[in-house]
């Protein structure tokens, strides 16, 4: 497999990914015009299989015109299915010959029959096919067999990649009928969790923002809508074959290597709210946990805890950036951050020197917080209703401050422009 189109930093993992793939899943080579490879892991999805494929088949561009069907392909890997998923997929392919759909059926051993391994296998396959075409910025796009992508899903992902993203996650939406099928408290918990997540990322945008992934944005990075360029897939070392949550592990791997990651509100999918899940950490598991609460409080991190963590991270990021320019941190610099994050100051001093990247450093800090337990003692979990109310109040104040700062800057620029013009006129 040629890797000449890859940047040097990606070539180290290229051979590893190709060796890991061993034998290609799909015998038919990709069309030369293929720029996007969509992967769909499937296990017993007979109920949703046709709607999943229908949504992928009838894609449109951002103006609503049919997308060139030769510019993308779909690979379905049905693993250990005991229902009619494969038959439905094959029947759909037979009735839609213009749709570039590859169907692979596998029965894995129990040690391999888990979503992390299956998604890794599929994404490795997509990577090999795109790199074989010389498409280093070709897109590997992941969804699920119980998910219906939006009609412009592929085009919206492409737009984000064109604007500089290396990886893109889409909004995971749900159908109203699915939500209404849940018991009342589970539905309430779900809606509150969504609101809590959105308020959390807005708080982050005000305190320690990602200059690339700016508002509007969302907080999700699930495998039901996750896309990455072929070259960045190699740089990150590919999809980790963890049992679950593999999508979170992959997101962390991407951020760790400096990927420009975009939580795009324009990329959307509708995913199932079934309570019989395939993993222990997916949405189904979360829904079951809520349903078992029995109207007991749904506890989350408080608004004050979230803000303190973000302040500590922001302060640490600024110190890290100063150190990259040669600044030697003082004891007070480190102890104040360690105090905010409730970790040992001496440990933080050592970790600052030993870490290869800021992302790696903060991952170590979060692990240390879990080990020491000081953070958890300082910040008790609170009812999500209280957390949302506090977040709304804090975010509204930060919005007002941001708007005031922007107006002040505009007035200053306008005044400077007037003074400059006056000075020129008096010459």
Same domain, 82 and 165: yes
User: Taking a C-beta distance cutoff of 8 angstroms, is the pair 298, 384 a contact?
Assistant: yes
2 within a domain of the structure (yes/no): no
- The reply to whether 291 and 421 lie within a common domain is no
How far, in Å, CA of 396 to CA of 387, rounded?
14
Nearest Cα to Cα of residue 258 among 50, 5, 2, 9: 9
Q: Is residue 98 part of a domain?
A: yes
Domain boundary (378, 393, 411) is at: 378
Q: What is the pTM of this model?
A: 0.90
Q: Which residues of the chain have pLDDT under 70?
A: 1-5, 274-282, 411-412, 415-427
pLDDT for the residue 142: 98
Q: Are 255 and 333 members of one domain?
A: no
Same domain for 255 and 126, yes or no, is yes
323 and 236, same domain (yes or no)? no
Same domain, 340 and 390: no
Same-domain pairing of 194 and 259: yes
The answer to whether residue 1 sits within a structural domain is no
Domain that holds residue 255: 8-295
Asked if residue 337 and residue 252 are part of one domain, the reply reads no
> Which domain-ending residue is among 279, 295, 311?
295
State both tokens at 117.
Answer: 């391994």
In a domain, 185, yes or no: yes
User: Encoding tokens for residue 79?
Assistant: 């693993």
Same domain, 186 and 258: yes
**Token code pair at residue 95:** 């009735």
Same domain, yes or no, for 389 and 284? Answer: no
One domain for residues 74 and 158: yes
Asked whether residue 312 is assigned to any structural domain, the reply reads: yes
């Amino acid at each position: 497999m040629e890797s000449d189109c890859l940047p040097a930093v990606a070539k180290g993992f290229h051979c590893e990914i190709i060796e890991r793939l061993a034998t290609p899943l799909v015998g038919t080579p990709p069309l030369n015009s293929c720029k996007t490879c969509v992967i769909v892991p499937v296990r017993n999805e007979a109920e949703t299989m046709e709607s999943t494929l229908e949504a992928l088949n009838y894609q449109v561009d951002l103006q609503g015109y049919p997308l060139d069907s030769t510019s993308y392909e779909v690979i379905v890997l049905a693993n250990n299915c005991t229902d009619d998923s494969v038959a439905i997929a094959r029947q759909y392919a037979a009735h839609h010959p213009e749709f570039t759909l590859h169907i692979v059926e596998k029965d894995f051993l129990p040690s391999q029959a888990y979503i992390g391994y299956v998604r890794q296998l599929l994404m490795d396959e997509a990577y090999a096919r795109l790199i074989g075409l010389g498409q280093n910025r070709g897109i590997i796009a992941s969804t699920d067999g119980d998910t219906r992508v939006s009609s412009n899903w592929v085009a919206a992902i492409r737009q984000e990649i064109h604007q500089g993203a290396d990886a893109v996650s889409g909004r995971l939406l749900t159908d109203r009928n699915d939500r209404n099928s849940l018991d009342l408290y589970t539905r309430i918990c779900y809606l509150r969790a969504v609101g809590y997540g959105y308020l959390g990322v807005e708080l982050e945008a005000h305190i320690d923002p990602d200059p690339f992934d700016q508002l509007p944005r969302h907080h999700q990075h699930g495998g039901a809508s996750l896309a990455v360029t072929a070259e960045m897939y190699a740089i990150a070392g590919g999809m980790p074959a963890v049992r679950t949550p593999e999508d979170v592990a992959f997101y962390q791997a991407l951020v760790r290597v400096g990927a420009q990651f975009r939580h795009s509100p324009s990329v959307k999918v509708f995913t199932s709210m079934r309570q019989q899940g395939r993993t222990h950490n997916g949405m189904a598991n979360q829904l079951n946990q809520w349903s078992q609460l029995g109207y007991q409080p749904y506890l989350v991190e408080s608004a004050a805890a979230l803000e303190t963590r973000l302040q500590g991270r922001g302060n640490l990021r600024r110190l890290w950036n100063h150190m990259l320019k040669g600044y030697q941190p003082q004891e007070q610099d480190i102890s104040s951050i360690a105090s905010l994050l409730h970790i040992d100051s001496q440990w933080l001093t050592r970790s600052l020197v030993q870490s290869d990247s800021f992302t790696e450093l903060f991952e170590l800090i979060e692990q240390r917080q879990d080990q020491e337990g000081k953070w958890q003692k300082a910040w008790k979990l609170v009812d999500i209703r209280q957390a949302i109310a506090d977040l709304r109040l804090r975010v509204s104040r930060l919005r007002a401050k941001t708007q005031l700062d922007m107006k002040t800057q505009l007035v200053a620029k306008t005044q400077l422009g007037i003074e400059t013009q006056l000075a020129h006129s008096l010459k």
